[in-house]
C-alpha cells in the first residue's frame, strides 16, 4: 500500500493512503507546509466550499484551535445545518475571506464558466504574503500564472495540491 509522507526538521509522519481523511491529515499537513516554523493554533483558515469535505476540514481546524472563515455561495440548507454555527464565520464574498487568512483550503467543484480561476490574480493579490493555499479540489480553480507571479514578487506562502502543476513546480 502506498504512503504519504510529510517531513520537517523535528517531525516525520506517515499516513497510509487508505486511511486518509481531511480530519486525520490536517494536523500533519498544516505544520508541514509551514516548515514547522509557526504554530497553527490561533491562525485563520479560509474554507472555500462548505460541502461534506469543507465541513470536515472546518471541524478539524476548529479542533486544532484555528479560527475558520467559510465561503460557499451555493450552500444547501442540509449542508449548512452540519456546520459548527457560531464557532466559525461565514462570508458572502471571497474578497472578505482572503485578506484575513493564513491558510486557504479549496473544496469547490470545477464548473468551466463559473469557478474557472475563481482564485484569480485579484484575490491572490489580496492574500497575506505568507498565506498558504491547500487545493485538494481542482487545479483550474487557481490562476497558477498569477500565483507564480505572486511568489516571484516575494511572497513566501506555499501552494499545496494533490495534482501536478507545471507553472508552480519550481515554487513552494
pLDDT value at residue 81: 72
Q: How far apart are CA 58 and CA 110, in angstroms?
A: 20
Q: Are 144 and 168 in contact (CB under 8 A)?
A: yes
Q: How far apart are CA 151 and CA 131, in angstroms?
A: 11
- Please name the residues in contact with 118: beta carbons below 8 A apart, sequence gap of 6 or more: 48, 94, 108, 141
pLDDT value at residue 52: 86
pTM above 0.85, yes or no: no
Q: Are 120 and 143 in contact (CB under 8 A)?
A: yes
Q: Tell the residue number behind the cell numbers 469557478, with chain if given.
A: 115
Q: Are 130 and 139 in contact (CB under 8 A)?
A: no
Say yes or no to pLDDT of 24 above 60: no
- 129-147, pLDDT tens digit by residue? 999 999 989 989 999 999 9
Parallel/antiparallel/unpaired status of strands 11-16 and 3-8: antiparallel
Amino acid at each position: 500500500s502506498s504512503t504519504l509522507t510529510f517531513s520537517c526538521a523535528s517531525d516525520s509522519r506517515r499516513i497510509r493512503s487508505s486511511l486518509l481523511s481531511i480530519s486525520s491529515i490536517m494536523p500533519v499537513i498544516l505544520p508541514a507546509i509551514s516548515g514547522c516554523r509557526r504554530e497553527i493554533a490561533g491562525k485563520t483558515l479560509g474554507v472555500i466550499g462548505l460541502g461534506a469535505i469543507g465541513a470536515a476540514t472546518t471541524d478539524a481546524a476548529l479542533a486544532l484551535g484555528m479560527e475558520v472563515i467559510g465561503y460557499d455561495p451555493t450552500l444547501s440548507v442540509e449542508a449548512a445545518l452540519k456546520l459548527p454555527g457560531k464557532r466559525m464565520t461565514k462570508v458572502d464574498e471571497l474578497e472578505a475571506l482572503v485578506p484575513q487568512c493564513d491558510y486557504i483550503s479549496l473544496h469547490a467543484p470545477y464548473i468551466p464558466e463559473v469557478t474557472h480561476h475563481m482564485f484569480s490574480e485579484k484575490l491572490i493579490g489580496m492574500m497575506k504574503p505568507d498565506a498558504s493555499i491547500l487545493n485538494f479540489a481542482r487545479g483550474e480553480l487557481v490562476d497558477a500564472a498569477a500565483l507564480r507571479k505572486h511568489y516571484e514578487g516575494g511572497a513566501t506562502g506555499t501552494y499545496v495540491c494533490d495534482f501536478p502543476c507545471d507553472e508552480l513546480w519550481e515554487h513552494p
